[in-house]
């Protein structure tokens, strides 16, 4: 959960006040995807090796990881937050 702990900490510390509605929605999408990924990985680990069901979970996990990658641009936590703050500022001047 690369982003979840970071964003939860920053949210509780009040560091997301400059993030606009669009970027906040993006944060919550990232948090949701990370939670779903964690649940899928946990369920996959319970399935015996060699099961076709395990392959299904691999495909689902890959899909969620691609979605997460698209939302985060694979940036590190602090870089992603900087990008979101900058985009929020740009949108406020539009």
CA atoms of 49 and 7, how far apart (whole Å): 35
Element (H, E) at 76: none
Assigned token pair, 52: 């076709």
**pLDDT truncated to tens, each residue of the chain (94 aa)?**
889 999 999 999 998 999 999 999 999 999 999 999 999 999 999 999 888 999 999 999 999 999 999 999 999 999 999 999 999 999 877 5
Pair of tokens at residue 51 = 């099961």
What is the pLDDT, as a whole number, of residue 93?
Answer: 72
pLDDT score, position 94:
59
Q: What is the pLDDT of residue 50?
A: 85
Q: What is the pLDDT of residue 17?
A: 92
* C-alpha count within 13 angstroms, C-beta hemisphere, residue 61: 15
């Amino acid at each position: 959960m690369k982003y979840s702990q970071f964003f939860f900490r920053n949210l509780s510390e009040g560091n997301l006040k400059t993030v606009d509605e669009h970027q906040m929605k993006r944060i919550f999408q990232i948090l949701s995807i990370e939670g779903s990924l964690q649940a899928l990985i946990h369920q996959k680990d319970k399935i015996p090796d060699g099961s076709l069901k395990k392959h299904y979970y691999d495909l689902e996990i890959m899909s969620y990881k691609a979605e997460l990658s698209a939302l985060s641009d694979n940036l590190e936590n602090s870089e992603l937050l900087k990008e979101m703050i900058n985009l929020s500022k740009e949108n406020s001047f539009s």
